[in-house]
Structure 1
Amino acid sequence: MTVRHPVLAVIGAGPAGLAGALAAAAGGVRVVLIDSAAEAGGQFYRQPARGLGARRPQALHHQWRTWERLRAGLDTHLAADRVTQLSDRHVWCVERQSDRFAVHALIGPEQEESVAVHADGVLLATGGYEKVLPFPGWTLPGVVTAGGAQALLKGGLVLPGRTAVVAGTGPLLLPVATGLAAAGARVVALVESAGPADFARRARTWAGAPTKLAEGAGYAARLVRHRVAVMARHAVVEAHGSGRLESVTVAALDREGRPLPGTQRRVVCDTLAVSHGLLPHTDLAEGLGCLLDGPGVSVDEEQRTDVTGVWAAGETTGIGGSTLSLAEGHIAGRSAAARLTGRVPDPRGWAPAARARTGLRSFFAALDAAYAARPARWTEQVTDETVVCRCEEVTAGAVREAVGTLGAGDLRTVKLLTRAGMGWCQGRMCEPGVAGVAGCALTPARRLLARPVPLGVLAAPADPSTPQ
């Protein structure tokens, strides 16, 4: 008689998903690891395409030894048939079917065919995505997200340009600036809207995290070595160019976040890598009806959501970096293995990870408070002609008219009146900017589908040959 092992579908093969998959497989469940990339690693451990023949991929990463341990563990479980890895699968929906789940995923780069993975439990490790708020000129070719510039470098071994400005706010700017500089780009400035005083007020928190302090000092040393000018308490207020980016205007900010008169200066560059922080990917969790806690998925001490059989770990629960993601993924995997096999979870088994999680959550809460999410008065710099929804080419003026003249009082009404957020991305990228310009609260969208899906896929039956 064949014994069927419970199946855990892990969605996302970044640090949280990998840690969760390894812990769950070691605990006696069958794991199906699903990811949209061709190789495991997520954004943090993004691997160059195999055809590029990268000789020293570790030069593009830090914490490479951690990645090697994760990769070796995954290979071991793959060889023992405890883990099935499904790459190039873009999950668009997870639905509950009686006491099991169906995970629907589009296949490959064309995404014209879908498969379904059936599982007893689901671990959501879908990570985060960048928040980029609009400003005049942000749609020019040559303006990219900071994470996009990093992805080009790590995954394609390509520089987005030769002369770069890295701007916005948040810890992501540091590895992007140093990575571009180390790869040969001339990074003329790192423009950060937070200032030294924002960090000095939390000195006690930093003192309690020596590893993070050392990491920050390492970035600072590399910035000095590559002669990158750091412009704290500054912001890029406009990008300029005829056909593509040629320069940006940078200004110092006052305490209210307004550009100080007389401080504006033009910086010549062909690339602007910009980011205003990260947001958790919660589309799949929202589709399942999981409770949110602020922008992230709400979880308990075992990383369980309020939906039975669904765990969440990593940046989908809140932005906190790779080390926190590893801790949360490990806890989620051990909890899922115990509960899906009918055992009572023993928190002593993940005690070190729980201690790391507590400390890192406190650290990143303080870090969030120190970084300005963008100058408080950023909307004042957005002209009426500035496009705020790129898919539908909706301007800030149209959004302001919807609020001031037509009486829109919430983001949904703004969307209905202007089509902002009705395009290809369905508001995933533009909602923070549209909400800011409109002066509306940014509320969960609760989209039924986590990504655009061809109508033919919705009409076709699921592929029954997918691993069960």
Structure 2
Amino acid sequence: MTEVLVVGGGPAGMAAALAARRHRARVVLLEAGDDVGGQYWRHLPGGRADTSERLWHHGWDRFVAMRDELLRDEGCEVVTGAHVWSVDRRDGAPPLVHVFVGAPDGQGREPRTFDPAALVLATGAHERTLPFPGWDLPGVYTAGAAQALAKGERVAVGRRVLVAGAGPFLLPVVSSLLRIGVEVAGVVEAAGPAQLAGGWATRPWQLLAARRKAGELAGYVRQLAARRIPYRTGAAVVAAHGLDRVEAVTVARLTRDWTPIPGTGRRIEVDAVCVSHGFVPRTELATAAGCAVDEDGAVTVDERQRTSVPGVLTAGELTGIGGVDLALAEGEIAGTVAAGGVPAPGAVRDRAVFRNFAARLAAAHGIRPGWRAWVDDDTVVCRCEDVTVGALRQAAELTGSRGLRSLKLTTRAGLGLCQGRTCGRTVEEMLTGSNGPGLLDPGRTAHRPIAIPVRLGELAASTRTSNREDVP
């Protein structure tokens, strides 16, 4: 049987593995966490299961059914705690995939290398947060981190919290915070009425095919109304204040391009703020494998989810940010094709519907360039290396360089522990704004030949090159 390797155990990866098994392929599913489900179906560990878990998730019963089917299937090996650290390109074939299995910060991890007939990458996305003065204070969280702590640990990031940024993801974050007793001071959406209408109100009849999303939205709106939580559009957190941690934030109104309007700042007392301005595809492995990406950093695929590399397919947020329904449809198509099958018409239809939804999402909530006006020269842009906006701009001006690599080496922006996952896209946009014609090599912050931190001792001890007996 064909061997299909799926990297990523979120909705897209689970759907791909199940589809490949339905077409009689032998499947290995690699998931870095302790359980499958990804960020969307993040939940308490099995030993601390909560009988109310279903209330925290949309589609929980579907997830449980998918997980049970994968775990019961002897033709599918689910490997949790599996951290892919590198891939080796090969001409005309999928790459070799190198993995360490075990706790991410532990010792004695088991090295494994896979030589698949087909590879499906479903590695998801990184959350993006635009910097602002004070965003490096304790008490400033990404919205995703706050939700992960709430859903996965039942831990609150604060007592009185403001949720801000852009996109519908802010609403489920509010819902999770409310469930653990947090007082939500408000929701601040950067997109203004005109931007929102441009994305959601144009040709509204096309949204009928995705009408189940309206039910989710209605539930969140009811929660806000019941708690009398204010929801502001066309505004943003432009500064956080405090000594040892956040004590207050300043929220200002924005113009259509997200430039703060002078004199509109309003101070709000909080002990935490959760900020998210969308997501960036997590493309380390895809770019290392040689897959082509578009100008937005998403992996380009054909109508069968195939990338530019033979035998490598992608699904989910890697191909563009579109939500769980698009991820499930793309995962089913990718898994089917990886196993040599023909995609089902229903999956193809769902993909078209939710790609349209994703395009509207980007139009309604996409980042506008005026945000650069709310940072000053003292604002830290790279928190790992403590690089300020001023240092970044000065290096670009003094050197006259348009090469991202040389500017990174000069300033160390993006060279810290996170390797640019948090600041990479922001660094690129700040430098593009400083250099007029733009960077010569945009997107290089996503190029990481070693995808995760690895000990030198682990590399020295890892001598295996394949998990297949017929490969020397």
TM-score > 0.5, shorter chain as reference: yes
Cα distance in 1, alignment partners of residues 204 and 105 from structure 2 = 46
Cα distance in 2, alignment partners of residues 100 and 244 from structure 1 = 48
Cα distance in 2, alignment partners of residues 298 and 444 from structure 1 = 17
Matching residue of 1:259 = 260
Question: Could you list the per-position Cα deviations for residues 133-167 of structure 1 after superposition, in whole angstroms to 9, with x for gaps in the alignment?
Answer: 21100011110111111111111111111111111
Matching residue of 1:74 = 70
Matching residue of 1:29 = 25
Query: How do 1:193-212 and structure 2 match up within 5 A?
Result: 193-201=190-198, 202-209=200-207, 210-212=211-213
Q: Once the 2 structures are TM-superposed, how far is the Cα of residue 452 of structure 1 from its aligned partner? A: 2.1
Cα distance in 2, alignment partners of residues 257 and 56 from structure 1 = 40
SS in 2 for 1:148: helix
Query: How do 1:91-170 and structure 2 match up within 5 A?
Result: 91-96=84-89, 99=93, 101-107=95-101, 108-112=103-107, 113=109, 114-170=111-167
Q: Once the 2 structures are TM-superposed, how far is the Cα of residue 73 of structure 1 from its aligned partner? A: 2.1
Q: 1:379 aligns with which of 372, 375, 383?
A: 372
Question: Could you list the per-position Cα deviations for residues 319-341 of structure 1 after superposition, in whole angstroms to 9, with x for gaps in the alignment?
Answer: 10001000000011111111xxx
Are the structure 2 counterparts of residues 157 and 70 from structure 1 closer, same or farther at C-alpha, using a change threshold of 3 Å? same
Task: Please tell me the residue identity of whatever aligns with 1:243.
Answer: D
Cα contact 1:164–1:188 (8 A) shared by 2: yes
Matching residue of 2:417 = 424
Q: Which runs of 5+ in 2 are unaligned?
A: none
Between stretches 44-53 and 295-304, larger displacement belongs to 44-53
* Structure 1 position 301 matched with structure 2 position 303: yes
Question: Could you list the per-position Cα deviations for residues 366-389 of structure 1 after superposition, in whole angstroms to 9, with x for gaps in the alignment?
Answer: 22011141x532222212111111
Are the structure 2 counterparts of residues 418 and 397 from structure 1 closer, same or farther at C-alpha, using a change threshold of 3 Å? same
Are the structure 2 counterparts of residues 120 and 234 from structure 1 closer, same or farther at C-alpha, using a change threshold of 3 Å? same
Task: Please tell me the residue identity of whatever aligns with 2:126.
Answer: Y
Cα distance in 1, alignment partners of residues 223 and 204 from structure 2 = 20
Cα distance in 1, alignment partners of residues 323 and 11 from structure 2 = 9
Cα distance in 2, alignment partners of residues 97 and 197 from structure 1 = 48
Cα distance in 1, alignment partners of residues 269 and 349 from structure 2 = 47
Q: Once the 2 structures are TM-superposed, how far is the Cα of residue 248 of structure 1 from its aligned partner? A: 0.4
Question: Could you list the per-position Cα deviations for residues 62-97 of structure 1 after superposition, in whole angstroms to 9, with x for gaps in the alignment?
Answer: 1212212212322332xxx11101101111112245
Cα distance in 1, alignment partners of residues 364 and 383 from structure 2 = 30
Task: Please tell me the residue identity of whatever aligns with 1:24.
Answer: A
Report the TM-score, using the length of structure 2 for normalisation. 0.91
Cα distance in 1, alignment partners of residues 204 and 184 from structure 2 = 27
Question: Could you list the per-position Cα deviations for residues 158-178 of structure 1 after superposition, in whole angstroms to 9, with x for gaps in the alignment?
Answer: 111111111111121111112
Cα contact 2:280–2:321 (8 A) shared by 1: yes
Are the structure 2 counterparts of residues 195 and 466 from structure 1 closer, same or farther at C-alpha, using a change threshold of 3 Å? same
Report the TM-score, using the length of structure 1 for normalisation. 0.92
Q: Once the 2 structures are TM-superposed, how far is the Cα of residue 101 of structure 1 from its aligned partner? A: 4.0
Task: Please tell me the residue identity of whatever aligns with 2:300.
Answer: S
Q: 1:363 aligns with which of 340, 357, 362?
A: 357
Cα distance in 2, alignment partners of residues 27 and 256 from structure 1 = 48
Task: Please tell me the residue identity of whatever aligns with 1:355.
Answer: R
SS in 1 for 2:187: strand
Q: 1:394 aligns with which of 387, 393, 401?
A: 387
- Aligned-pair identity (%): 44
Cα distance in 2, alignment partners of residues 464 and 260 from structure 1 = 58
Aligned length: 452
Cα contact 1:11–1:17 (8 A) shared by 2: yes
Cα distance in 2, alignment partners of residues 313 and 256 from structure 1 = 31
Q: 2:321 aligns with which of 316, 319, 322?
A: 319
RMSD across aligned positions (CA): 1.9
Q: Once the 2 structures are TM-superposed, how far is the Cα of residue 447 of structure 1 from its aligned partner? A: 2.1
Cα contact 1:47–1:154 (8 A) shared by 2: yes
Task: Please tell me the residue identity of whatever aligns with 2:262.
Answer: P
Are the structure 2 counterparts of residues 272 and 263 from structure 1 closer, same or farther at C-alpha, using a change threshold of 3 Å? same
Question: Could you list the per-position Cα deviations for residues 192-244 of structure 1 after superposition, in whole angstroms to 9, with x for gaps in the alignment?
Answer: 10122223234244432222233222221221122221011000000011101
Q: 1:189 aligns with which of 186, 191, 202?
A: 186
Q: 1:409 aligns with which of 385, 393, 402?
A: 402
Q: Which runs of 5+ in 1 are unaligned?
A: 339-344
Cα distance in 1, alignment partners of residues 37 and 168 from structure 2 = 20
Task: Please tell me the residue identity of whatever aligns with 1:110.
Answer: D
Task: Please tell me the residue identity of whatever aligns with 1:25.
Answer: R
Cα distance in 2, alignment partners of residues 96 and 21 from structure 1 = 23
Q: 2:34 aligns with which of 35, 38, 49?
A: 38
Cα distance in 2, alignment partners of residues 43 and 179 from structure 1 = 13
Cα distance in 1, alignment partners of residues 464 and 54 from structure 2 = 38
Cα contact 1:133–1:432 (8 A) shared by 2: no
SS in 2 for 1:398: helix
Cα distance in 2, alignment partners of residues 256 and 463 from structure 1 = 53
Matching residue of 1:461 = 462
